[in-house]
Amino acid sequence: MTAIIQTLDTTDGPFTLIADADGAVLASGWTSDVEAMRNRIHPGLRPEGVREGETAAADAVRAYYDGDLAAIDDVPVRQRGTDLQLAGWKALRRIAPGAPLTYTGFAARLGSPRAVRAAASICARNAPALFVPCHRVLRGDGTLGGFAWGLDVKRALLAREGGTLL
């Protein structure tokens, strides 16, 4: 399978996304490194090749950066993982802009309030960043915690969405 790759300029730096033939985003993030993006995709979904092109998801990214925070909500994504990971990625998409959760709060939404490490792992293994907004999860003390694309990007995304640190 060959997928489409596209890199956009954003105020937070280059944003690259890889979408499959159906338009579902397999991976995305703030880098222009094609191999880094490919490597974030689960091996069972990883395309054999990528070609540059225009994706429908790019329009949603542009709209998001123009202030339409809901533009990313309906962009299809495709990930492969355990049942808990799949449930977690789905739950991440339901965290409203401007209303970040702690890892404990996120774990509670998954029905396991003590599974904080699992909640953090779900965020860390999230390939289609922005579309599955793992940046909306913070440490229990309200600090940023980690983010694959850097804390400056996470801080900027939360500020754009009107989210405040807890």
* CA distance to 22, 53, 138, per residue, from 123 (Å): 24, 28, 10
- Please identify which of the residues 18, 19, 91, 134 carries the catalytic annotation: 134
- Quickly count: other Cβ atoms within 10 Å of residue 90's Cβ: 13
Q: Can you name the residues that pair with 27 across neighbouring β-strands?
A: 18
Active site residue 123: no
Residue-wise DSSP of 55-95: -HHHHHHHHHHTT-GGGGTT--B-----HHHHHHHHHHTTS
- Residue 50: strand, helix, or coil: strand
Positions marked catalytic: 134
